[in-house]
Structure 1
Amino acid sequence: MGDFEAIDALLARAGKAVPLPPAEERRALRQELNLSRAQLAQALGVSPSTVGGWESGRDPSGEVREKYAYFLEGARTKLEAAAAAAAAAPAAESDPAREPEEDVSGDAGQGVAPDDDVDVLAVARPCVLCGQPAHHEVAGYPQHLDPAECAAAVNAVAPPTSRADRAPTASDARPRPGGRPAGGVRIVPAGRRVQPADTPDLIAAAVAAALAEHSGDVEAATAALVKRAIPDAMALLDHSRKGGRYDVIAHPWLPDILRKQTSRGADQIWEARPKWTRPELPPGEHEVTALDINGAYLSALKTHLPIGQLEHSTGDRHDRRRAGVHLITPPVWEHDAVLPNPVGSRDEPGPLWVTEPTLRLLLRLSGPKYGLCDPPEIHESWTSGATEGLLEKFRVALKDARDAAITEGDEVTLEYVKAMYAKFVSTLGESNYNRELYRTDWMHLIRSQAFANLWWKAHRAYDEGLMVVRAMGTDELHVIGDWQAVFAEGRGLTEVKVKDVYVVGADPYSDPHTEDGRDDA
């Protein structure tokens, strides 16, 4: 009887989908209310890019469709009522000198090249990370593109002047973007850097417990923390995923190309690891500075990762909403005399399986902005729906702990955090040390992102007039010239350290130097 009742209830709920207006009208209704995609997305419990898809012609389904239809109908009613009231008001009451309202729709600057994956905002809006004005929008969220800009924006904010000390202005009554009242207490938006007061600091708690257990013995506590870095990293990842919009498949089925061919062999994925040395230098002696890129794997956690199980497709087409591995024929690289090949050091010709970061790097370099090579030819792909922010809370927690440890001279926490992110990446594949997450595809993508990040630093050095001499692994870049005019020196993720300084002459590469590509702090 219960089954029949369930069917009756299903039939009672069944019906035609709630009608929606055309895509152009959906966008117009939102914009006329001065609402951004992010604001509407938050109210509906979806992402801003999903709202953008609905405004481009895709239709939602299920309960969210009903909510979206309710919003659109309410928006239409509100606008019609406002138009009727405006028509009834005397024309003399209109103020032609009134300033136009700020455009907070987030739709300005849509003409950005598609390979940048970033929108430029015509009007600055509060960054979701630091709350200060940002001029770019990523995936529908306004934010600074460089974490250093967030820090600079926060430090540049002066204490608000008391309203009692000045005359009121018209701007006092004007609503501020992001819900920040003029002259009042700053309301920090609930972004990825903001944690509720009751959120435990798992890293600090683990360090304190280890020091207490070993009676303050720094070396013993550090060794114990490094030993448990993998399970602690997984606990931190689980904690950071609470409330997330995606359920991660921890042990998906993987295609044969992602499986080791022999017990001690490798799979078929090429990570594009650079091991490049400039073939020739100008005559004379040159001072070369070997720069160490800080936290290469930590920075690389911000990359497009497939969420679910990989699905196979064929054809020479790249879908930016998905990520995975791709069989490509790479383009000819004609700049090896001054820059490393984005595909890495590879002697064999023909197609090869590359990761998402490598493919996106090649596609960007082949675009009109750079024009350094032809587009790669894509033959087939294994991909899934993806997001660049899947590990962002995890990455930010590690980064914040690392930054605090450097500031406070806390070497115990620093070594612990380094072990957490380094071992997390290295044990994602076929490893007996991490049974909780088996994502060989993620391991390859994160490591390749680190290599791609190093390549972009080499390109930046070259573009700023430095002579690039070597690029090795994930964190080693050798240059000739005033590198301090290009890179900031320090231990932060956006900074570099000097690893070595040496002089080369007529035989520039006779000197022995480290080429281990080790990922340092």
Structure 2
Amino acid sequence: MTDFDAIDALLAGARQEVPLPPAEERRALREGLNVSRTQVAQVLGVSPSTVGGWESGRDPSGEVREKYAYFLDGARTKLEAQREEPASAPPAGTCAASDTDDSASEAAADEGGADEVEALPAPEPCVLCGSPARHQVAGFPQHLDPAECRTAAADQPKRPARPGNPSESTGPHTPVKVVPAGRRLRAASDTPDPIGEAVAAALAQHEGDVDEATAALLKRAIPDAMALLDATRKGGRYDIVAHPWIPDILRKQSARGSDQIWEARPKWAREELPPGAHEVTALDINGAYLSALKTHLPIGQLEHSTGGDHDRRRAGVHLITPPAWEHEAILPNPLGNRDEPGPLWVTEPTLRLLLRLSSPKYGLCDPPEIHESFTSGATEGLLEKFRVALKDARDRAIADEDEMMLEYVKAMYSKFVSTMGESNYNRELYRPDWMHLIRSQAFANLWMKAYKAYDEGLTVVRVMGTDELHVTGEWRGVFPEGRGVAEVKVKDVYTVGHVTRTDPGQGAGPAPG
């Protein structure tokens, strides 16, 4: 890495933040366009609750702040242009946009197909079937529900194809699934699908033998993941520094040893439960490492600093004296199981979790004391396109019950994380800092799920590794069940303790079984 590369990385992290309008104006701009929080959240790569927080007064930072400012500025320009145009009443026999239309817009956003989805003031001909549509996607009137589009097309009278236009045939049209491509749309069938193509090629090479094809895909998971990363980084705002200078604390102390970074992996079990029998459900958190790819990662080479201040525009590793934790009886220590007292090197996700828990909103501990840091300008979206590509492939494999593709995708993201440190299996990327940060983000995510369970009235019984959470109580009211990344599935159900009864003249004893 040259000095000029280091200077570029420093400048990328030191940019001045763009101004944002007041919080109440942000919501008014969004609602003026009939755009839901879900739609805004999806295009910005955040959660709907995060958008709600911005509309309540909190401010984003970094790259997502610039994207949000760009959206708000565009919304203001569009609304001003609409005010200058004469309003048109809806044609007779039609209805204004209803709550059902709003639900359809949000459903389209959830499916990943919404890009500037708007409710039209008056129905316009759908670009796919020609029947009246109440929404437009990226400026094109279109039915959001393909079934509705097919029905509308079937109702149209047959017409002969126009000379010189062979694509227009008589009879009903087959809807074209479209996806965003910059400011335009393109057919979903034209979208590259390297994961699906790799699976099909492996099956063809092994003459349909699923076991052999799966084994071959798992062997090439690392180079395929790196190729996918390169493809998703094309046109990216930042160039990934693949082999930066690494401080000694991130280097292994011996050939089989470890470095000095503490990842805060939880291994906690509740020591005591109330008397009686308790049904415990062991929940499996889906796609823990996949979700953890969304974390603040340093862009360039890590730089040393001292002092107790934390700059949220940067990320890396920090030497801290952790706060005392006084809730071990009901919640695990956010630092995991650590026996040695005193300062230790932790990652960005661990530090941010401790700072969050020390805030007035939680008040669970004192702030950690920061002694020194190795950080660089950072962004939360560095691997976002890579993560979304893997998530979409995972969702598609589950929907199609394609276990071969599912195992291939899981291997891609799990091996990508595990081999970006000092590994002989991946020479293209040497970022042990990223490896620690992503792992720690998975642990922090699991800790917050444990806290959510506790906050919703469940009893947290055990927290293990990256994806295991044991609770008692009606957990389905807290966590959605399923195989999706945002869902959980049941790993085990077991009983702890036993029922006792009091029988007059007999005393207390175990209930008959």
Give TM-score scaled by structure 2 length: 0.69
**What's the counterpart of residue 22 of structure 2?**
108
The answer as to whether partners of 1:306 and 1:324 remain within 8 angstroms in 2 is yes
Q: Residues 310 and 48 of structure 1: is their aligned pair in 2 closer, same or farther, counting only changes over 3 Å?
A: closer
Which amino acid letter does the alignment assign opposite residue 42 of structure 2?
L
The answer as to whether partners of 1:277 and 1:470 remain within 8 angstroms in 2 is yes
**What's the counterpart of residue 365 of structure 1?**
357
In the alignment, which of 430, 434, 444 is matched to residue 452 of structure 1?
444
CA drift of 1:349 comes to 0.8
How far apart, in 2, do the equivalents of 1:189 and 1:107 lie? 27
The answer as to whether partners of 1:148 and 1:494 remain within 8 angstroms in 2 is no
How far apart, in 1, do the equivalents of 2:435 and 2:495 lie? 37
**What's the counterpart of residue 100 of structure 1?**
none
Q: Residues 506 and 392 of structure 1: is their aligned pair in 2 closer, same or farther, counting only changes over 3 Å?
A: same
The answer as to whether partners of 1:327 and 1:352 remain within 8 angstroms in 2 is yes
**What's the counterpart of residue 305 of structure 1?**
297
**What's the counterpart of residue 230 of structure 2?**
238
SS in 1 for 2:438: helix
CA drift of 1:109 comes to 2.5
How far apart, in 2, do the equivalents of 1:376 and 1:276 lie? 21
In the alignment, which of 156, 159, 163 is matched to residue 123 of structure 2?
163
The answer as to whether partners of 2:289 and 2:442 remain within 8 angstroms in 1 is yes
**What's the counterpart of residue 42 of structure 2?**
129
SS in 2 for 1:292: strand
CA drift of 1:129 comes to 3.1
Matched ranges for 1:286-435 at <5 A = 286-435=278-427
Give the % identical residues: 69
CA drift of 1:123 comes to 3.8
RMSD between aligned residues:
3.6
CA drift of 1:150 comes to 4.3
Structure 2 portions without partners, runs of 5+:
1-10, 55-59, 72-105, 126-134, 145-177, 500-513
**What's the counterpart of residue 53 of structure 1?**
17
The answer as to whether partners of 1:210 and 1:225 remain within 8 angstroms in 2 is yes
Q: What are the Cα deviations for residues 413-464 of structure 1, in whole angstroms up to 9, with x where unaligned? A: 1000000000000001000000000000000000000000000100000000
How far apart, in 1, do the equivalents of 2:412 and 2:345 lie? 28
In the alignment, structure 1 residue 274 sits paired with structure 2 residue 266 = yes
CA drift of 1:487 comes to 0.5
SS in 2 for 1:345: coil
Which amino acid letter does the alignment assign opposite residue 127 of structure 1?
V
Q: Residues 196 and 345 of structure 1: is their aligned pair in 2 closer, same or farther, counting only changes over 3 Å?
A: farther
The answer as to whether partners of 1:271 and 1:447 remain within 8 angstroms in 2 is yes
CA drift of 1:200 comes to 2.0
The answer as to whether partners of 1:291 and 1:497 remain within 8 angstroms in 2 is yes
Which amino acid letter does the alignment assign opposite residue 495 of structure 2?
V
How far apart, in 1, do the equivalents of 2:244 and 2:405 lie? 33
In the alignment, structure 1 residue 260 sits paired with structure 2 residue 252 = yes
Q: Residues 130 and 48 of structure 1: is their aligned pair in 2 closer, same or farther, counting only changes over 3 Å?
A: farther
**What's the counterpart of residue 83 of structure 2?**
none
The answer as to whether partners of 1:214 and 1:220 remain within 8 angstroms in 2 is yes
**What's the counterpart of residue 486 of structure 1?**
478
Give TM-score scaled by structure 1 length: 0.68
How far apart, in 2, do the equivalents of 1:149 and 1:330 lie? 45
Structure 1 portions without partners, runs of 5+:
1-45, 56-105, 112-118, 166-175, 508-521
**What's the counterpart of residue 110 of structure 2?**
151
CA drift of 1:348 comes to 1.1
SS in 2 for 1:489: coil
Give aligned pairs, total: 389
The answer as to whether partners of 1:109 and 1:120 remain within 8 angstroms in 2 is yes
Q: Which moved more, 1:242-251 or 1:132-141?
A: 132-141
CA drift of 1:369 comes to 1.2
